[in-house]
């Protein structure tokens, strides 16, 4: 874990709220001059604390109205087959997140789709066509109660 002081945490907080802030705006907000603020940001980028900057999109406004959490069990659990499954999943645009889990299922996928018809097509022609699939269980999101991207730091 990276050692972060109060100013680093303040910078990270601001960037998580609005990554389009420039160094001067951040410096003014935290009460530091531009050069040390810039150096802190660059250090956190270099060390991997800051991985990248992104724009968060409104999924409904781009036509991604269906969110599904899809639990997947594999038939065989050999390392080569696990890696092959993970590679196949990483190439599927509909899959936003994939987690290898412990418990009843082997993987949990977050899948976004235009609608139920397109999700069925994804299941039938992509996921089910993937080698070694044993069982799939879909849970459909009815209402998004909480969704955040900001981590609380210390």
Nearest to 67 by CA among 138, 130, 126: 138
Q: What is 66-140's CATH topology?
A: Alpha-Beta Plaits (3.30.70)
Place of tokens 């038939």: 75
Nearest to 130 by CA among 98, 77, 86: 86
Quick one: pLDDT at residue 52? Answer: 96
The CATH class given to the 6-46 domain equals: mainly alpha
Q: Which residues of 44-66 are buried (b: 16+ CB within 10 A; e: fewer)?
A: beeeebbeeeeeeeeeeeeebeb
pLDDT score recorded for residue 143: 96
Q: Which residues have C-beta within 8 Å of that of residue 116, sequence separation ≥ 6?
A: 66
8 Å CB contact between 37 and 26: yes
Domain borders along the chain are 6-46, 66-140
| Tens-level pLDDT at each residue, the chain (154 residues) | 889 999 999 999 999 999 999 999 999 999 999 999 999 999 999 999 999 999 999 999 999 999 999 999 999 999 999 999 999 999 999 999 999 999 999 999 999 999 999 999 999 999 999 999 999 999 999 999 999 999 999 7
C-alpha distances out from residue 61 to 55, 58, 64, 65, 67, Å = 14, 5, 8, 9, 14
């Amino acid at each position: 874990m990276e050692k972060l002081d109060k100013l680093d945490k303040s910078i990270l907080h601001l960037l998580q709220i609005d990554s389009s802030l420039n160094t001067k705006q951040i410096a003014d907000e935290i009460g530091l001059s531009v050069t040390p603020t810039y150096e802190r940001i660059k250090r956190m980028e270099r060390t991997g604390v800051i991985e990248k900057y992104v724009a968060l999109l409104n999924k409904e406004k781009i036509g991604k109205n269906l969110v599904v959490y899809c639990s997947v069990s594999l038939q065989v659990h050999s390392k080569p087959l696990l890696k092959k499954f993970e590679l196949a999943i990483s190439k599927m645009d509909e899959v936003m997140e994939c987690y290898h889990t412990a418990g009843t299922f082997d993987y949990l996928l977050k899948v976004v789709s235009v609608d139920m018809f397109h999700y069925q097509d994804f299941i039938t022609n992509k996921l089910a066509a993937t080698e070694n699939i044993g069982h799939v269980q879909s849970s459909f999101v009815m209402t998004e109660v909480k969704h955040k991207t900001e981590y609380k730091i210390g």
